[in-house]
Structure 1
Amino acid sequence: MRDMRTAFGEQFDVPDGYLNTASIGIPPAAVADAVERAVADWRRGRSSPPDFDADVAAARAGFAALVGVPVERVAIGATVSQLVAQVAVSLPAGSRVVVRAGEFTSVTFPFAAQAARGVVVDEVPAAELADRAAEADLVAVSVVQSADGAVADLAGLRAAQAAGTTVVLDVSQSLGWLDAEIGWADAVVGAGYKWLLSPRGCAWLAVSPSVRERMVAHQAGWYAGDDPWTTVYDLPLRLAPDARAFDVSPVWFAQVGAAAALPWLAGLDRAAVHAHCVGLADALRAELGMAPAGSAIVSLSGPDVGERLAAAGVRSSVRAGAVRVGFHLYNDANDLDRVVRALKR
Structure 2
Amino acid sequence: MQFVDAVKLWEPEPGWLNTASYGVPPRLAFEALQGPLDEWRRGANGWDKWDEATGRARAAFALLVGAMPGDIALGASASQVLAPVAASLPPGSRVVVPDIEQTSNLFPWLVHDFDVQTVPPADLAAAINERTAAVAFSLVQSATGEVAPIDDIVAAARAHGALLVADATQAVGWLPVDATRFDVLVVSAYKWLMCPRGTAFGYLSPAVRDRIRPIAANWYAGEGDASYGPPLRLAKDARRFDIALPWFSYVAAAPTLELLLDIGIGPIHEHDVRLANRFRTGLGMAPGDSAIVTVSKPGSAERLAAAGIRASVRNGGSRVAFHLYTTEADADAALSALT
Residues 134-143 or 75-84, more deviating: 134-143
Specify the alignment match of 2:18 in structure 1. Answer: 20
Separation of aligned partners in 1, 2:287 and 2:164: 27
* Alignment pair present for 1:258 and 2:258: no
**2:207 alignment partner, SS class:** helix
Q: C-alpha distance in 2, partners of 1:152/1:62? A: 25
Q: Structure 1's 181 and 245: CA in aligned 2 closer, same or farther, altered over 3 A?
A: closer
Distance 2:236 2:47 in 1: 23
Equivalent residues in 2 for 1:34-183, closer than 5 Å = 34-115=32-113, 119-135=114-130, 136-163=132-159, 164-183=161-180
State the number of aligned residues.
Answer: 335
Contact conserved, 2:10 with 2:26, CA < 8 A, in 1?
yes
Which residue, 216, 240, 251 being the options, matches 1:219?
216
Query: 2:206 is matched with which residue: 209, 221, 224?
Result: 209
Q: Match for 1:58: what amino acid?
A: R
Alpha-carbon displacement from aligned partner over 1:246-272 (angstroms, at most 9, x marks no partner): 110001111111111112212323221
Question: After the TM superposition, which segments of 4 or more aligned residues of structure 1 sit over 6 Å from their partners?
Answer: none
- Whole-angstrom distance in 2 between the partners of 1:61 and 1:114: 33
* Letter of the 2:146 counterpart: A
AA partner of residue 195 (structure 2): S
- Superposition TM-score, scaled by structure 1 size: 0.94
Match of 2:314 in 1: 319
196, 199, 215: which one aligns with 2:196: 199
The Cα of 1:177 is off from its aligned counterpart by 0.3
Q: Partner letter of residue 84 of structure 2?
A: Q
Aligned to 1:269: 264
Please say if residues 55 and 259 of structure 1, whose CA atoms lie closer than 8 Å, have aligned partners that are also in contact.
yes
TM-score normalised according to structure 2 size: 0.96
What displacement does 1:302 show?
A: 1.5
Distance 1:190 1:337, change over 3 A: same
- Partner residue, 1:283: 278
CA 1:99–1:7 in 2, change beyond 3 Å: closer, same or farther? Answer: farther
Displacement after TM superposition at 1:224 (Å):
0.9
Residue 247 of structure 1, aligned match among 231, 235, 242: 242
Aligned partners of 2:329 and 2:45: how far apart in 1? 42
* Amino acid in the other structure paired with 1:23: S
The CA distance in 1 between the partners of 2:17 and 2:180, in whole Å, is 28
Q: Secondary structure at the match of 1:216?
A: coil
User: How far does residue 273 in structure 1 lie from its aligned partner after superposition?
Assistant: 1.0
Report how far residue 311 of structure 1 moved: 1.2
Three-state SS of the structure 2 residue aligned to 1:97 is strand
Q: Does 1:330 align with 2:325?
A: yes
8 Å CA contact retained: 2:179, 2:203: no
3-state SS of 1:210 partner = coil
Give the alignment's Cα RMSD to 1 decimal.
1.4
**1:286 Cα deviation (Å)?**
0.7
Say if 1:276 and 1:334 are closer, same or farther in 2 by CA, change over 3 A: same
Query: Helix, strand or coil: the match of 2:152?
Result: helix
Deviations 1:193-252 (CA, angstroms, capped at 9, x unpaired): 11111100010111111220111111001101012xx11100110100111111100011
Task: Give % identity.
Answer: 44
Within 2, Cα distance between the matches of 1:17 and 1:25?
Answer: 13
| Structure 1 segments unaligned to the other structure (5+ residues) | none
Comparing 137-146 and 161-170, the one that deviates more? 161-170
**Distance (Å, rounded) in 1 between the aligned partners of 2:101 and 2:71:** 25
Task: Tell whether the 8 Å contact from 2:97 to 2:136 is kept in structure 1 after alignment.
Answer: yes
Query: 3-state DSSP class of the match of 2:181?
Result: coil
What is the SS of the residue equivalent to 1:219? Answer: coil
How far, CA to CA, are the matches of 1:69 and 1:81 in structure 2? Answer: 21
